[in-house]
Amino acid sequence: MGRMQGEKKRAAEICRAKKNFLLLSHVDPDGDAIGSLLALGLSLRRAGKKVIMANPDGVPLLYRFLPAWDEVRCDYGELLARELAALEVIITLDTATGERLGDWSRILKKDSFVVLNIDHHLTNTRYGQINWIEAASSTGELVQVLLSELGWEIETDIALCLYTAIVTDTGSFRFENTTCDTHRNAALLLQKGINPAQVTEYIYETKPEAAVRLLGRALETLRISPDGRVAWLTITNSTLAVVGARGEDVNGIVNYAKEIAGVEVGILFQETREDLIKVSLRSRSRINVSEIAQRFGGGGHPRAAGCRVRGSLDRVREEVLAGVTAALAGGENTGAGDSQYS
């Protein structure tokens, strides 16, 4: 506890004292990656700081209702030499490893600025000089805690970013990472004037037709292990092409595999390039899937994790299923206890 408090205080000191910031979040961004980025970026600007906000993949269509989304840059090559020279601090948000910054990870190798790493993934590799890694529903919730530590006002548009981060990372307050604190923090955001029904509409009820057709195709691939405890779905590049869906339309589909009665682990295998398979893992309660993902070079949370594995779809599927089966057979660490609230 002492260490986490210390890191939070150091994070606040840096936000208060420094002037020039670059904020980054992970590739293939979700609502937390975008929401925490925009919330902290806008807050720093309102405190008079110069802030560049960037994400290697840019802002998915789904999150383009958020304020200042169009100020998020994505091309590392467009960072000007004078901008780089002026930078004092890099803040990474929701990003468990440096590699998850894509092209922007190159900037971590320079030693001319402080890297402040703020994340709720307990598998975070602590690649910053300051690493505030703490169990919370979302990185957005940590940003909210940071803003209150700073005593900075959370205005309505910033509250919208934070609320979006919390809602998406908790599956609308349904997942195990939802705590009393999460609800209390979300309630504070509602007091700033957020309309939850409207956020629901933006996030869950404005899907492109192709996303729903993709879901249909994905569900047709459902397979279940003979003992009924593992279910998996597969999306190939040609599936995406046939329905005209984009990579971001895949988000959330893995949950359908986990939601089947009796299933402990749900998996989605997705082709991303010819020899790279994205694997998303969801666990009901018994298996710590972040351990499995870590074995394949990924990471995440005990109940939601992922990795990208080089190899053919068939081979990767076989290896990951073997790993999950072994975890189910052995009495592995379930990730229960404090760490499950990540």
Residue 291 binds to Mn ion (criterion: CB under 5 A): no
- Whichever of 4 and 219 has its CB closer to Mn ion, that residue is 4
Among 169, 176, 271, 291, binds Mn ion (CB under 5 A): 169
Q: Which residues pair with 133 in a beta bridge?
A: 119
Residue pointed to by tokens 């900075």: 152
* Contact window for Mn ion (CB under 5 A) among 16-24, 54-62, 93-101, 172-180: 93-101
- Whichever of 4 and 322 has its CB closer to Mn ion, that residue is 4
- Whichever of 118 and 218 has its CB closer to Mn ion, that residue is 118
Among 29, 63, 89, 94, binds Mn ion (CB under 5 A): 94
Of 341, 16, 15, give the one whose Cα is nearest residue 179. Answer: 341
- Whichever of 54 and 231 has its CB closer to Mn ion, that residue is 54
What gap in Å lies between CA 134 and CA 310, rounded to an integer? 30
- Whichever of 117 and 138 has its CB closer to Mn ion, that residue is 138
Buried b (16+ CB within 10 A) or exposed e, 300-320: bbbbbbbbbbeeebeebbebb
Closest separation in Å from C-beta 54 to Mn ion:
17
- Whichever of 168 and 234 has its CB closer to Mn ion, that residue is 168
Closest separation in Å from C-beta 138 to Mn ion:
5
Our separate counts of H helices and E strands in the chain read 12, 12
Closest separation in Å from C-beta 110 to Mn ion:
26
- Whichever of 124 and 138 has its CB closer to Mn ion, that residue is 138
- Whichever of 234 and 342 has its CB closer to Mn ion, that residue is 342
* Contact window for Mn ion (CB under 5 A) among 89-97, 258-266, 289-297, 306-314: 89-97
- Whichever of 69 and 113 has its CB closer to Mn ion, that residue is 69
Number of residues that bind Mn ion (CB under 5 A): 5
Among 23, 24, 26, 32, binds Mn ion (CB under 5 A): 32
Return the DSSP state at 272.
E
Q: Which residues pair with 114 in a beta bridge?
A: 89
* Contact window for Mn ion (CB under 5 A) among 86-94, 244-252, 272-280, 308-316: 86-94
Q: For residue 150, which phi and psi values (nearest 5 degrees)?
A: -75, -20
Three-state secondary-structure class, residue 197: helix
- 8 Å CB contact between 298 and 308: yes
* Contact window for Mn ion (CB under 5 A) among 68-76, 103-111, 161-169, 261-269: 161-169
Q: How many CB atoms are closer than 10 A to CB 72? A: 23
Closest separation in Å from C-beta 262 to Mn ion:
28
Question: What is the token pair recorded at 20?
Answer: 């020039």
- 8 Å CB contact between 51 and 82: no
| Binding to Mn ion in span 114-153, by CB under 5 A | 138-139
* Contact window for Mn ion (CB under 5 A) among 42-50, 164-172, 213-221, 300-308: 164-172
Task: Taking the CA atoms of 327, 328, 331 and 337 in sequence, report the sign of the dihedral they define.
Answer: positive
Question: What is the token pair recorded at 54?
Answer: 């960037």
Q: Which residues pair with 295 in a beta bridge?
A: none
- 8 Å CB contact between 263 and 224: yes
What gap in Å lies between CA 115 and CA 127, rounded to an integer? 8
Closest separation in Å from C-beta 267 to Mn ion:
20
Which single residue brings its beta carbon nearest to Mn ion? 32
| Residues at the site binding Mn ion, with contacts judged by CB under 5 A | 32, 94, 138-139, 169
